[in-house]
Structure 1
Amino acid sequence: MKQRVQGSAGVQGAARVPAQRAVDVARERDVAVPGARGEHTHCEPPIPQPRAVVQRSSVRGQILDALRTALVAGELKPGEVYSAPVLGERFGVSATPVREAMQQLTLEGAVEVVPNRGFRVVRRGARELAELAEVRALIEVPVMLRLARTVPAERWAGLRPLADETARAASSGCAATYAESDRAFHRAVLSLSGNEQLVQVAEDLHRRSQWPPVGGPVRHGRADLVADAAEHTALLEALIARDLDVVRGLVGEHFAGAS
């Protein structure tokens, strides 16, 4: 149900103000105004219904997470344009938190603003994904090798539940579920560096690399996800054993496979 802000002037009073003021009043009350934000809702591709309607608390954050999941799962298709009102209907909320979430995705490079229509999902090619993998490797590989020399075995062992979770997520075959567990594992590894800025930059690059390219909703099938998750487990065992040669080889293969 859409949230509405009650104004003191009332609907009749709003009808008597000039056209622009009427638009402003409608916006304040979160009432859809045709053309007010240049978003038309006709001729848009159908969108699968969500598994559950989001809760009212932290609506913007929940919508942002839901949109990111839809991107990874291929439910929001590259090249297609989606308007905030239509997406709001999908999630059972007003258009406002959807616009705010879409603006964040614009900053992240996932979508772009289309004047008078809404937001277009950015088309991504193999070259861009390869470049992202290369940049991730340049950042993460040296850090992992340094951590392999300094972090005690018991701290690495504490990450076993996260590696196990990536294996379970991979077995499900759900790209969105695996993407979340994959990021959680890499985030936990890099967090041992104590450099929060590095963790944030690396996670942003990681998230971008998980969006599917043009030509298919999922970049990897179940077998590829399982193989990727197995590399996490092998890497963790090598880190616990402090086998630097194996660590070096595994992280190189891991990022090569991400391209």
Structure 2
Amino acid sequence: MEQAGPRSAHGSAGAGVPDIRTGAVRVPAQPRAADVDRERGVTGRAAGAAAASRPAASAGSGGPVGTGTAAGAAARGEHTHSETPIPRPRAEGARPVVQRASVRGQILDALRTALVEGELVPGEVYSAPALGERFGVSATPVREAMQQLALEGAVEVVPNRGFRVVERGTRELAELAEIRSLIEVPVMLRLARTVAATRWAELRPLAEATVRAASSGCRATYAESDRAFHRAVLALAGNAQLVRIADDLHRRAQWPLVGGPASRGRADLVADAAEHTALLDALIAEDLTVVQSLVREHFTGA
């Protein structure tokens, strides 16, 4: 008895698989329709009738659809190169694409603000239903937003309870400052040599916005304007990944410390914002020594 070759997931011998007994490559035969009819003894008018009925069956008129044909692939929901593209709706009277505000995004922004403001206390556990009741939404978008914060390292999941705000100490803050310095100082020194003074002057409104935000005393508002200024500076390097990573580190540096004040006071914010305008002045003057000193002190103070 001939030994059967390896079979595919459907139980048939796989195409191009070597025969175990002979070592030859076995390719399943693909008989023509006439050959099949001839083997079955179908001749003359009966063969013609069989051939005529075959296209109708494969075209999906109620007969079986071959699994190896384009029609069979389409029936399984697979992509075929011959499928008809779906027409776009006409402009007049067409139903618009569904557009709705991202509840999850709004909740995420609100949670980030509460985190910076110290309303979410380090070490405390918060449940999605309780936070949802506070924001007037269901627990689902809150849970999704908190899971995003967990990915960012702001909270950690507590099974069957909710999410605990991560407790951070001064050591972690110092480590973040060191990493930011290692990344941003070389970039700013390079930009100071290559970027024209007019480009730096275009960033002055952002620096002034940080001063106004600091003067308001709102820590969340200042946090957003602070990151916006740094993103604009680093964007001049033309490296989107650099901007994304640096912004993530910056955000982490703005979270409150455990056992201490929720964040810096108004005077600290104003002093921090003043360093932005001083940094721009040094960049315009191409004073590399001052640029390096300001950036390192800025991160340490933050």
TM class, shorter-length: 0.7 to 0.9
What CA distance in whole angstroms lies between the structure 1 residues aligned with 2:167 and 2:295? 28
Stretch moving more, 215-224 or 126-135: 215-224
What CA distance in whole angstroms lies between the structure 2 residues aligned with 1:217 and 1:168? 22
What CA distance in whole angstroms lies between the structure 1 residues aligned with 2:231 and 2:115? 20
- What displacement does 1:240 show? 1.5
1:127 corresponds, among 162, 171, 176, to 171
Query: Following superposition of structure 1 onto structure 2, how do residues 239-254 of structure 1 map, counting pairs within 5 Å?
Result: 239-254=283-298
Residues 72, 217 of structure 1: 8 Å contact kept: no
Q: State the match for 2:278 in structure 1.
A: 234
- What displacement does 1:242 show? 1.7
Verify: 1:154 aligned to 2:192, yes or no: no
- What displacement does 1:217 show? 4.3
1:212 corresponds, among 239, 244, 256, to 256
Verify: 1:188 aligned to 2:232, yes or no: yes
- Please give the root-mean-square deviation of Cα atoms over the aligned residues, in Å: 1.0
- What displacement does 1:256 show? 2.4
Instruction: Give unmatched runs, 5+ long, in structure 2.
Output: 1-99
Stretch moving more, 190-199 or 249-258: 249-258
Instruction: Provide the secondary structure at the position in 2 that maps to 1:66.
Output: helix
Question: TM-score if structure 1 supplies the norm length?
Answer: 0.76
Residues 116, 263 of structure 2: 8 Å contact kept: no
- What displacement does 1:174 show? 1.4
What CA distance in whole angstroms lies between the structure 1 residues aligned with 2:261 and 2:289? 36
Q: Which one has the bigger helix percentage?
A: 1
- What displacement does 1:78 show? 0.5
Q: State the match for 1:36 in structure 2.
A: none
Q: After the TM superposition, which segments of 4 or more aligned residues of structure 1 sit over 3 Å from their partners?
A: none
What CA distance in whole angstroms lies between the structure 1 residues aligned with 2:176 and 2:287? 27
Instruction: Provide the secondary structure at the position in 1 that maps to 2:263.
Output: coil
Instruction: Provide the secondary structure at the position in 2 that maps to 1:213.
Output: coil
Query: Following superposition of structure 1 onto structure 2, how do residues 41-190 of structure 1 map, counting pairs within 5 Å?
Result: 57-190=101-234
What CA distance in whole angstroms lies between the structure 2 residues aligned with 1:165 and 1:231? 13
What CA distance in whole angstroms lies between the structure 2 residues aligned with 1:138 and 1:219? 24
Question: TM-score if structure 2 supplies the norm length?
Answer: 0.66
Identity of aligned residues (%): 83
Number of positions where the alignment pairs a residue of Structure 1 with one of Structure 2: 203
Verify: 1:199 aligned to 2:246, yes or no: no
Instruction: Give unmatched runs, 5+ long, in structure 1.
Output: 1-55
